[in-house]
Amino acid sequence: MTDALTTWAGSHTFRGGPVVHPETVDEVAAVVAAARHVRALGSRHSFHDLADSPGTLVALDRLDVPTVIDPDARTVTVGAGVRYGELARDLHAAGWALHTMASLPHIAVAGTVATATHGSGDTAANLSAAVRGLELVGAGGDVRTLGADDPELAGSVVALGGLGVVTRVTLAVQPTYDVAQEVWLDLPWTTALDDFDALMSSAYSVSLFTDWRGDTVGQVWRKHRVDAGTLGSAPDLAGARRADGPVHPVPGQDPVACTEQGAVAGPWHERLPHFRLEFTPSAGAELQSEWLIPRAHAVAAIEALRGLRDLVAPLLLVSEVRSVAGDDLWLSTAHGGDRVALHFTWLPLREQVDAALPVIEEALAPFDARPHWGKLFSGPGPDRTWQDLYPRWDDAVALLARRDPAGVFANDFLLRHGLRA
């Protein structure tokens, strides 16, 4: 393979080739029409073989598609390879905003929505839920557009690249707003879990950072929408203390890479992500896993993970607990109801992490845990099938087979997890 590409953290070298960099939708269509197998690459923020191909890899980093804001429809249409941080700057300058941002603004729009990647907040559905339309190049090079009323849209947004190469995405927007971010330290776990719902709803977005050791949550990040009037009335966190300066969620890392803290109000896109676009995100050399749990099971699942501290903590850079509102997208990890996300940023110890995954999945299986599609996991968990976790699983499988009968966009990842025969 020429022009070998790795995931952003170097955790996986993508298999396939050649790697092509089309600049127009017509060029994407020509590539797909001429290839036996194709997969798309975005910003490469996955951690495994999701984007591998038996054939051509289509990198979207040079795709030249204009950003178009429709103020009447309250939507924006963007090129698939645009990074959220860049889109956010353009939207804010025009007076518009997205409802949420992921912790990293470095990720590309199409790959983000295809994997149900999310931000945080009791009322904030994941980024995929903002999709109001898709343009994609399907098998044979046909260009299709799915609008908000298309019955296939809910099955096509989170499709893991299995329906084609997405070239344009239309997203819902709203008027721009400000956010202020504050950080608290050493919140007792008993306080956090005794009134977990109140804690997670105490701001527009709340993140708990922990290493699972000890009796306290290391850091609590609260992001308040200033237009909601909550900043002045937000309760103190009993038993915790306010950070007296900026902090990084990974202990020992320089907080210069983090978005502004200290309850200083600023534009939404400069506060909702944890990290600034112009810096290396997170720790850099790392692995990641995440499982999403129905909100009703959150406290029990957290307690189960606390019981695995001796296994998890030595492999961990940091772990994060967040909330995500539910949606109706067939393969979304938040399909059907509100979820709590249990995220792990691992040291780059692949063999040890791989060995730990089934143990974590066994502990979380009673709580119907769904793994994040773009991060490391081993399967749906013991005594679980994907159909158990996703009510529309069979519909999604049928949609992929109907739209791509020859398996142009199939790969080992989809085959391994039963999304293609």
Confidence (pLDDT) at 231: 55
Structurally, what CATH architecture does the domain formed by 68-176 represent?
Answer: 2-Layer Sandwich (3.30)
Structure tokens at 318: 């940091």
Please list, in sequence order, all residues whose beta carbon lies within 8 angstroms of the beta carbon of residue 195, skipping any fewer than 6 positions away. Answer: none
Contacts of 148 (CB under 8 A, 6+ apart): 132, 133, 170
pLDDT of residue 1: 37
Number of helices (H) and strands (E) in the chain: give both, helices first.
12, 20
Domain 178-371 is in which class? Answer: alpha beta
User: Can you tell me the distance from the alpha carbon of 340 to that of 362, in angstroms, rounded to the nearest whole number?
Assistant: 18
Q: What is the pLDDT of residue 100?
A: 97
Amino acid at 237: L
- Taking the C-alpha atoms of residue 406 and residue 403, their distance in angstroms, rounded to an integer, is 9
Sign of CA dihedral 377, 107, 166, 409: negative
Domain locations along the chain: 68-176, 178-371
375, 289 Cβ separation under 8 angstroms: yes
DSSP H or E run through 187: strand 178-188
Say if CB 158 and CB 148 are below 8 A apart.
no
Which residue bears the tokens 């249409």? 77
Helix H or strand E segment including 343:
strand 339-346
366's tokens: 């009673």
In angstroms, the CA 232 to CA 292 distance is 31
The confidence score (pLDDT) of residue 282 equals 59
Token pair recorded at residue 276: 């600034």
pLDDT score for 252: 87
SS3 at position 266: strand
From residue 118, give the alpha-carbon distance in Å to each of 64, 149, 220, 226, 237: 25, 23, 18, 21, 25
Q: What is the reported pLDDT for 75?
A: 98
- Whether residue 223 contacts residue 333, with contact meaning beta carbons closer than 8 Å, is answered with no
Q: What token pair was written down for 316? A: 């961990």
Torsion angle, alpha carbons of 113, 75, 85, 26, to 10: 70
- pLDDT value at position 2? 44
Helices (H), 275-392: 298-306, 309-312, 350-364, 386-389
Note down pLDDT in tens along the chain; length 421 residues.
345 688 887 888 888 889 999 999 999 999 999 999 999 998 888 889 999 999 999 999 999 999 999 999 999 999 999 999 999 999 999 999 999 999 999 999 999 999 999 999 999 999 999 999 999 999 999 999 999 999 999 999 999 999 999 999 999 999 999 999 999 999 999 999 999 999 999 999 999 999 999 999 999 999 999 986 655 456 789 899 999 999 999 988 999 999 999 999 999 999 999 999 988 665 568 999 999 999 999 999 999 999 999 999 999 999 999 999 999 999 999 999 999 999 999 999 999 999 999 999 999 999 999 999 999 999 999 999 999 999 999 999 999 999 999 999 999 999 999 999 7
Helix (H) or strand (E) holding 77: strand 75-79
